[in-house]
Structure 1
Amino acid sequence: MAMVVELSEQSCNFFQGSWVYDESYPLYDSSSCPFVEPEFDCQKYGRPDKLYLKYRWQPSGCDLPRFNGQDFLLKWRGKKIMKDTLSTLRFEDYGVTIMYYRTTYLVDIVSEKIGRVLKLDSIEGGSAWLGADLLIFNSWHWWTHKGSSQPWDYVQEGDQIYKDMDRLIAFSKGLATWGRWVDTNINSATTKVFFQGISPTHYQGQDWGGSSSKSCYKETQPVSGSTYPAGSLPQQAIVRSVLSNISKPVYLLDITLLSQLRKDAHPSAYSGEHAGNDCSHWCVAGLPDTWNMILYAALS
């Protein structure tokens, strides 16, 4: 069964709402945070405006609680939390370990004689996730990469090897493999599993009612209201379909719509490591903090 996050206020959907100006934002100064990676540190790398930092997500029927780090650590004392980029933070006073394991496709990429093979039905790397008390997965961003940024040369399903495959079809097959892994390996009594929804891009201005020549560059305000002109993404349907076929509870953090509304929240030209116009990653401080607040609310 697939479950959108069940929160204590059952009448409230944290994923439906709008962005409102809030003078108290941002809640922290990114320059004082040693964990912000260069490609997300927009203020450090010259972004001239700060209005994008002043918006708070307001759900339609309730308020989103602010993240309380100490409360979070107390509730997860002695636990291991794993996300999807390789790194480890240990809060020894609380016995909390947060591990980031980078596996961009969830399924395996294996070096063979013919080259690097993306194996849509193999997930041996999943052994690294065992033993965690909380698992937070996401995927899709890398499935669209081609050329020199594509980390594989061939795609394999069963005994069939392909030079390429429709990326939505490949994503669906790979995610289904992950779903079977969850059913086989997760003990729901001891491990909570979350899947973070699709993080959108803003390269096409017509998606939000702008001109076709526009991108996220020099955008300084969110899309107003609570709907996105371009509508939902086909990847969202794939995620929901795969989750609906998993027998173990997997909680969907459905952050796509609230992120679609933030055309202003990308690094664009102000990234420390990405040349050109980056309209796929997000500034920190910024939108990802809201994702974390929703996760915090879901775990409270």
Structure 2
Amino acid sequence: MAFQSKLISISTSFLILISTIFFHFTLLSSSYMLVHHINNNNEHNSHHRRPILQANQSQCSLFMGSWVHDDSYPIYQSSSCPVIDPDFNCQMYGRPDSDYLKYRWKPANCELPRFNGLEFLEKMKGKTVMFVGDSLGRNQWESLICLTWSSVPRVATQVIRAYPLSTFKFLDYGVTLSYYKAQYLVDIDSVGGRRVLKLQEISENAQAWRDVDVFVFNTGHWWSHTGATQGWDMMESGGSLYQDMDRMVAMETAVRTWARWVDSNIDTTKTRVFFQSFSPTHYDPSEWNGGSGATTTAKSCYGETAPVSASAFLGVYPNEMKVVDAVLREMQTPVYMLDITTLSAMRKDAHPSIYSGDTSTGQKADPNGTPDCTHWCLPGLPDTWNQLFYTALFF
């Protein structure tokens, strides 16, 4: 009897153990399904969706982190990419240093997936990606072509350079990468021999934005241009013409026009929309060397060869981004903000400076007078923008 009672006790304990294991397995499965369901819903419903990458049980802050030296970069060489404009081809035009090519973005608490051009083509087969905006969009467009091309250098391609639309096609995959120049997003028309920036009209530009699967929009830099570099003669808003107005008011009017077009024309079951945040310039060393009290001989980005450390960074949130943020929050369509502003502000070393194809300005004779501290070298920083874009698309 004692043996039988002991056997019954062991059997009962075994059944309890099995029941407990089953309960926890069911709980874990339910938790996984719940998280999976929430993440899927967030992907479709959040206007500022962030990919969540896990490392040490911690959430990844994709756009906050630091730059780390990595000898496995760059992914491609400028000499092996067929589309880099002279403006961005720093190695070809004599830049003597190369450490700026060796930095990898390390987000807080996680690692970014390395860009894989073959995977990008396979997942985007038959689709079109279009960058719309100013020359920073062209900078990123060329970077994406180079990154992808480096994985499949022998595939059939076709490139068409035109204004305002340029395209690069990977014919074997049916993938089209396009760039449409629209530095203000809204239309500019010629009226009586004058260039009129129409803050509430976008239909002319938008004619080219049909049958696109993924958009990356940007605007910002041209809104502050004056004098000879200003891209318009008059502004039109509310049926009235203006010689000028507060530039951030004008920009907000234009971005709201763009937002209305997106909300009215984008089918989110077919098309993804990204907005690239403001790309910072580096003309004023006081912005990164501790303020005007710091001693420095630098007058611009010329001669800068290393990033700003996160601890020394004095980043300022640009007014252009405040405008975009305010508009995106009111939109019905989910728009993913590629927030590259802060991480790019740390890269004072990554601009062409005097090492570009623009020899007409006498840059090398007066390097502190006319360096390009707006655009970025290729290979270089825009490759990281596209690595973040790639992460947001697929992870």
The TM-score, its normalising length taken from structure 1, stands at 0.95
For residue 100 of structure 1, the aligned residue among 172, 179, 194 is 179
- Residue 147 (structure 1) shift: 1.7
- Residue 299 (structure 1) shift: 0.7
- Describe the SS at the equivalent of 1:101: strand
Whose helix fraction is larger, Structure 1's or Structure 2's?
A: 2
- Describe the SS at the equivalent of 1:16: strand
Q: Does 1:137 align with 2:222?
A: no
For residue 253 of structure 1, the aligned residue among 338, 345, 363 is 338
Which amino acid in structure 2 is aligned with residue 110 of structure 1?
Answer: D
Which amino acid in structure 1 is aligned with residue 304 of structure 2?
Answer: E
Percent identity, aligned pairs only, is 52
Whether the 8 Å contact between 2:302 and 2:354 is mirrored in structure 1 is yes
Write the deviation string for residues 100-132 of structure 1: whole angstroms up to 9, x where unpaired. 111111000000015110000000111211211
- Describe the SS at the equivalent of 2:269: coil
Cα distance in 2, alignment partners of residues 81 and 27 from structure 1:
21
Q: Could you say which residue in structure 2 is the equivalent of 1:4?
A: 48
Moved more, 45-54 or 252-261: 45-54
Whether the 8 Å contact between 2:130 and 2:212 is mirrored in structure 1 is yes
- Residue 8 (structure 1) shift: 4.4
- Residue 231 (structure 1) shift: 2.3
Alignment of structure 1 residues 202-221 onto 2, 5 Å: 202-209=282-289, 214-221=299-306
C-alpha spacing 1:5/1:47, structure 2 compared with 1 (3 Å): farther
Which amino acid in structure 2 is aligned with residue 285 of structure 1?
Answer: P
- Residue 290 (structure 1) shift: 0.0
Whether the 8 Å contact between 1:216 and 1:264 is mirrored in structure 2 is yes
Q: Could you say which residue in structure 2 is the equivalent of 1:18?
A: 66
Write the deviation string for residues 161-214 of structure 1: whole angstroms up to 9, x where unpaired. 111122222111111110111001111111100000000001111111257562
Write the deviation string for residues 232-287 of structure 1: whole angstroms up to 9, x where unpaired. 11211111111001101001000000000001110111111273211111011100
C-alpha spacing 1:141/1:189, structure 2 compared with 1 (3 Å): same
- Describe the SS at the equivalent of 2:222: helix
Whether the 8 Å contact between 1:16 and 1:226 is mirrored in structure 2 is no
Q: Which runs of 5+ in 2 are unaligned?
A: 1-44, 133-137, 139-164, 293-297, 362-369
C-alpha spacing 1:256/1:278, structure 2 compared with 1 (3 Å): same
Q: Could you say which residue in structure 2 is the equivalent of 1:297?
A: 391
Moved more, 2-11 or 184-193: 2-11
Q: Could you say which residue in structure 2 is the equivalent of 1:62?
A: 110
Cα distance in 2, alignment partners of residues 230 and 97 from structure 1:
36
Cα distance in 2, alignment partners of residues 227 and 163 from structure 1:
41
- Describe the SS at the equivalent of 2:257: helix
Structure with more contact order per residue of length (Cα contacts < 8 Å, sep ≥ 6):
1
Whether the 8 Å contact between 2:288 and 2:312 is mirrored in structure 1 is no
Q: Could you say which residue in structure 2 is the equivalent of 1:197?
A: 277
Cα distance in 2, alignment partners of residues 7 and 226 from structure 1:
25
Cα distance in 2, alignment partners of residues 126 and 2 from structure 1:
25
Which amino acid in structure 1 is aligned with residue 327 of structure 2?
Answer: V
Whether the 8 Å contact between 1:18 and 1:226 is mirrored in structure 2 is no
For residue 117 of structure 1, the aligned residue among 190, 196, 204 is 196
Q: Could you say which residue in structure 2 is the equivalent of 1:157?
A: 237
- Residue 151 (structure 1) shift: 2.0
Which amino acid in structure 2 is aligned with residue 99 of structure 1?
Answer: S
- Residue 228 (structure 1) shift: 2.9
Q: Does 1:72 align with 2:151?
A: no
Q: What's the C-alpha RMSD, in Å, of the aligned pairs?
A: 1.6
Which amino acid in structure 2 is aligned with residue 237 of structure 1?
Answer: K
- Describe the SS at the equivalent of 1:24: coil
Alignment of structure 1 residues 230-269 onto 2, 5 Å: 230-269=315-354
Cα distance in 2, alignment partners of residues 6 and 144 from structure 1:
30
Aligned residues: 300
Cα distance in 2, alignment partners of residues 285 and 80 from structure 1:
23
Q: Does 1:46 align with 2:94?
A: yes
Which amino acid in structure 1 is aligned with residue 323 of structure 2?
Answer: I
Cα distance in 2, alignment partners of residues 211 and 232 from structure 1:
16
Q: Could you say which residue in structure 1 is the equivalent of 2:83?
A: 35
- Describe the SS at the equivalent of 2:282: coil
Which amino acid in structure 1 is aligned with residue 299 of structure 2?
Answer: K
Whether the 8 Å contact between 1:193 and 1:249 is mirrored in structure 2 is yes
- Residue 54 (structure 1) shift: 1.2
Cα distance in 2, alignment partners of residues 19 and 216 from structure 1:
18
Cα distance in 2, alignment partners of residues 27 and 96 from structure 1:
20
Cα distance in 2, alignment partners of residues 250 and 278 from structure 1:
30
- Residue 98 (structure 1) shift: 1.4
For residue 81 of structure 1, the aligned residue among 129, 136, 148 is 129
Cα distance in 2, alignment partners of residues 2 and 169 from structure 1:
27
Cα distance in 2, alignment partners of residues 141 and 234 from structure 1:
11
The TM-score, its normalising length taken from structure 2, stands at 0.73
CA radius of gyration, larger in: 2
Q: Does 1:281 align with 2:329?
A: no
Which amino acid in structure 1 is aligned with residue 262 of structure 2?
Answer: V
Cα distance in 2, alignment partners of residues 289 and 78 from structure 1:
23
